[in-house]
Amino acid sequence: MSEIQSKSIPIPKSNKYINSQYTYPNSNNGYTHFMYSLTINENLPKHQIFTKVEKHKHCILIDEFDKINYNDIKTFHLHISTFPINFNYIYELSGIINHEQSSYNQQENGVYIEFSQNSSGNIFCRSSFIDVDFNKICISPPN
C-alpha cells in the first residue's frame, strides 16, 4: 500500500492579499462597528451608563481610572449592537455582582463580561462576544 502524503499550500504573505484566494468575503456583511452599552446600578439610588464603539468583538468598558468602586456596584446590564446598516440589537446580558471574591465574570449565549478590582478597590471591566460569521467561507487544506 502506498502512504498518503500531504503538503501545505503556499499562501502569499504580502499585505496586498488582505482577502486572499483562500477566503471569500461576502460584501453583504452590513456591520463594521459594534456599540457596547453597559449600565451599572450602584448601592446608592443611581446608575451610570458606559458606551463604547469598537471595530472588534471585545471592549474595555470601564478602566480603573474611571474610579468606580467594585463594592458599590450591585447589578449590571449590557447591550451589544451593530451599525451602521440595520442598527440591530445583537446580545444582551444582565447580572448581580457577587462581592465575595475580588472579581466577577459571567458568560451566557456567547457574551462574556468580567469585573475585576485593583488593590485600591477600583474596577476594570471588559466584555467580549463570540459571533459566528457565516459571511466568510474559508478553505483549509487537510493536514
Instruction: Return the domain boundaries, the chain.
Output: 30-129
CA distance 115 to 105: 6
pTM over 0.75? The answer is no
CA proximity to 38, closest of 56, 53, 57, 51: 51
What kind and span of H or E run contains 114? strand 111-117
Name residue, grid cell 481610572. Answer: 65
CA distance 119 to 23: 46
State the pLDDT at residue 12.
58
C-alpha angle with apex 92: 110 to 68, nearest 5 degrees?
A: 100
Mean pLDDT by runs of 10 across the 143 residues of the chain is: 65 52 48 86 83 91 91 92 70 91 90 92 90 54 54
